[in-house]
Amino acid sequence: MTVPLKTSRTLLLVDDDVNVISALRRTLRRDSYTILTANSGKEGLDLLAKHEVGVVISDQRMPHMTGVEFLSQVKQLYPKTLRIILSGYTELKSVTDAVNQGSIYKFSTKPWDDDLLRDNIREAFQYYEMEQENTRLSRELQSANNKLFTLNQNLEQKVADKTREMIHSINVLQISQEILEHLPIGIIGIDEQHMIVVSNRFTEALFGQTPGCLLGLMAEDVLPETLLRLLPDIYTDNFAPLDGGIITLSDDVSMQISIRRIGNISLSKGIILLLTPLMLSCKN
């Protein structure tokens, strides 16, 4: 993972000896840190409450609050801040215990090695910034997951709404088909290629076909010549609907015919023929 460089790295130095603070400043002046200083643990906590600090260096032997005690509080209040302690050999037992408990990231003995201390601080800032970057990426990932969850919920709702709409449309279509089948008039739908694409039971019986046999046949192959002569040229703009025309299909069967263009409220193209028995028409 590539960690972006920080424009400012803030370091807190805590020691009751001003000479030690000055010596640390001289050691670190080449590293371009923003350096805060405090002469006690309490002053250090006050500064931490006001500033975002990446690394804290504290002396162990201070009055009122030892370095271990101070850094233990820093861990509780600012767990992401890296903690380094300076101690003498006589204090190693308490410092080692603090390291084992996780209160301290690293410790350096007094007197310190300048290069080693600078390397430790640089490494601590890199670790701190990596943790900050991981936190940022985790927030972004959580935000992306939340947005994805919301999108999935919206998509599921849209799918559910569309499914209900489709089921409703299918139900309406089935009801319409059932009504079509029971109408006492003949209905024939013919597409632009003159293929029969719609017919009901009345039409099938009228032309002596079993139910469904007209579908897919060409109109010229199954409809009588007297009916074919009335079919308009559905490809031209001169199409004119026909209402009330009378045709005789046999000696005892006469029909009133109506012709309409298909496509005003659908994507289909063609014509629809309505064949009403003449006696039924007269009664109406």
Domains identified in the chain and CATH numbers: 10-139 (3.40.50.2300), 183-283 (3.30.450.20)
Among 213, 198, 217, smallest CA distance to 272 is for: 198
pLDDT value at 69 more than 50 = yes
* Inter-residue contact 108 to 120 (CB < 8 Å): yes
Alpha carbon distance 279, 264 (integer Å): 31
Phi-psi region of 32 (alpha: psi -120 to 50; beta: other; left: phi over 0): left
| Higher pLDDT pick, 204 / 97 | 204
Per-residue confidence (pLDDT) for residue 3, from 0 to 100 = 43
Task: State residue 4's pLDDT score.
Answer: 45
Q: Burial, 74: exposed, middle or buried (Cβ in 10 Å; 0-12, 13-18, 19+)?
A: buried
Pick the more confident residue, 262 or 155. 155
Under the banding of pLDDT at 50, 70 and 90, the label for residue 282 is very low
Instruction: Inform me whether the pLDDT recorded for 194 exceeds 80.
Output: yes
- Look at the block and give the residue holding tokens 């005690």: 69
Task: Answer yes or no: is pLDDT of 100 > 80.
Answer: no
Query: Could you report the per-residue pLDDT of 227-236, keeping only the tens digit for each?
Result: 888 777 655 5
Pairing mode of beta strands 186-191, 106-109 = unpaired
